Amino acid sequence: LARGPVEPDLAGRHVVISAGGTREPLDPVRYLGNRSSGKQGYALARTAVARGARVTLVEANTGLPDPAGADVLHAGTAVQLREAVLKAAADADVVVMAAAVADFRPAEYATGKIKKKDGQEPAPITLVRNPDILAEVAGERARPEQIVVGFAAETDNVLANGREKLRRKGCDLLVVNEVGERRTFGSEENEAVVLAADGGETQVPYGPKEALADTVWDLVSSRLG
Ligand code: CTP
Ligand code: CA
């Protein structure tokens, strides 16, 4: 992507970004997962590097090459992602949760492959809740002036649901994507509205994920002391 010279407005800042989607194993060969490509999180990492930040990218199952200039940590499950994000967040100025974290995981992990048996119905899969990483990071604030950003994909009542989620998570900014038939996962482009805890609302027109990423950094930058 062609870019002009970039203002290093994030120089001296440590930003932590999660990207991708967690996978919750059922047995050694199967998992519950989601369709997150990780591309938006990687765009956030590239643009933050370009703006001078020290970037820690915690990636889950993206298969994408490490972006130049970022420290990349790898996590598989929500529990692993939580551990990596909380550790990196300890000295972070900004935490952006762009990863799709599985809300639930199988209550039990079968150490051997689950086999079917003739004439037998499959056993139901019992799920348990995963920790809410964004709510935890936002609620505990490793540093009082830390900026915390969440993402949300909504299909209906996008703004009302977004406002409610922003409040519930306790974050400073929430990037809300409208998902539907036209909006496919894995796309290079994105359209969103960024809601702020102080009431702000920034529309980002359909365009490259870098453009949305730069809008997020503009809003973050103006809130950093
Ligand atoms: N998130 C998180 N930990 C979870 C679930 C979500 O950190 N266990 C973060 C995501 O990374 C995202 C934000 O919370 O930044 C919103 O995710 P979303 O799935 O939209 O929110 P939920 O609270 O899980 O609500 P829903 O029931 O609509 O899925
Ligand atoms: Ca969820």
Q: Say if ligand 1 is within 6 A of residue 152 CB.
A: yes
**What is the model's pTM?**
0.96
The residue whose CA has the least distance to atom 20 of ligand 1 is 152
User: Tell me, what's the ipTM?
Assistant: 0.99
| 225 band by pLDDT with thresholds 50, 70 and 90 | confident
Q: Say if ligand 1 is within 6 A of residue 138 CB.
A: no
Report whether 208 belongs to an annotated binding site: no
What the block records as the tokens of 36 is 């997150």
Q: Under CATH, which architecture does the 14-113+124-223 domain have?
A: 3-Layer(aba) Sandwich (3.40)
* pLDDT (tens digit per residue) in 157-214: 999 999 999 999 999 999 999 887 666 677 888 889 999 999 999 999 999 999 999 9
How many angstroms separate the alpha carbon of residue 103 from the centre of ligand 2? 5
Nearest ligand to the CA atom of 104: 1
Q: CA of 172: how far to CAs of 7, 14, 92, 176, 195, in Å?
A: 23, 17, 15, 13, 8
Q: How many CA atoms lie within 13 A of 103 on its CB side?
A: 1
* Rounded CA separation 161/147 (Å): 21
Provide the mean pLDDT of the chain. Answer: 94
Q: Say if ligand 1 is within 6 A of residue 42 CB.
A: no
Question: If we measure between CA atoms, which residue out of 146, 153, 30, 43 comes closest to residue 91?
Answer: 146
The average pLDDT across 2-13 equals 84
* pLDDT (tens digit per residue) in 51-85: 999 999 999 999 999 999 999 999 999 999 999 99
* 152 alpha-carbon distance from chain centroid: 9
Mark the residues whose beta carbon lies below 5 A from ion ligand 2.
Answer: 103
Nearest ligand to the CA atom of 168: 1
Q: CA of 43: how far to CAs of 19, 37, 164, 194, in Å?
A: 10, 11, 26, 16
Question: DSSP letter at 100?
Answer: B
Q: Say if ligand 1 is within 6 A of residue 134 CB.
A: yes
Alpha helix locations (H) across the chain? 39-50, 78-89, 133-140, 158-169, 209-223
How many angstroms separate the alpha carbon of residue 37 from the centre of ligand 2? 16
Report whether 66 belongs to an annotated binding site: no
What the block records as the tokens of 113 is 């492959």
